[in-house]
Amino acid sequence: MSNKIVKDTLAITLITLISGLALGLVQDITAGPIAKQQKKAKEEAYKAVFADADTFEELTLTEELSAAIEANLDENGYTAQNIDEIMLAKDNAGAEIGYAFTVTSSEGYGGDIQFAMGVKADGTMNGISILNISETAGLGMKATTAEFQEQFKEKKVEKFSYTKSGASADNEIDALSGATITTNAMTNGVNAGLCTFQFAKGGNLE
Per-residue pLDDT tens for 129-161?
999 999 999 999 999 999 999 999 999 999 999
Residue 160, SS3 per DSSP: coil
Res 116: pLDDT: 97
Predicted TM-score (pTM) of the model is: 0.81
Res 148: pLDDT: 97
Taking residue 166's Cβ as centre, other Cβ atoms within 10 Å add up to: 7
- Sorted by sequence, the CB contacts under 8 Å of residue 134 that are 6+ apart come out as 108, 110, 111
CA distance 84 to 69: 10
The residue among 158, 137, 160 whose CA lies nearest residue 149 is 160
Res 181: pLDDT: 97
User: Pairing state of beta strands 161-163 and 172-174?
Assistant: parallel
Average pLDDT over residues 112-125: 96
CA distance 46 to 163: 28
What is the dihedral angle through the alpha carbons of 58, 63, 69, 70, rounded to the nearest 10 degrees? 130
Which of 90-99, 159-168, 197-206 has the weakest average pLDDT?
197-206
Res 25: pLDDT: 67
CA distance 56 to 5: 62
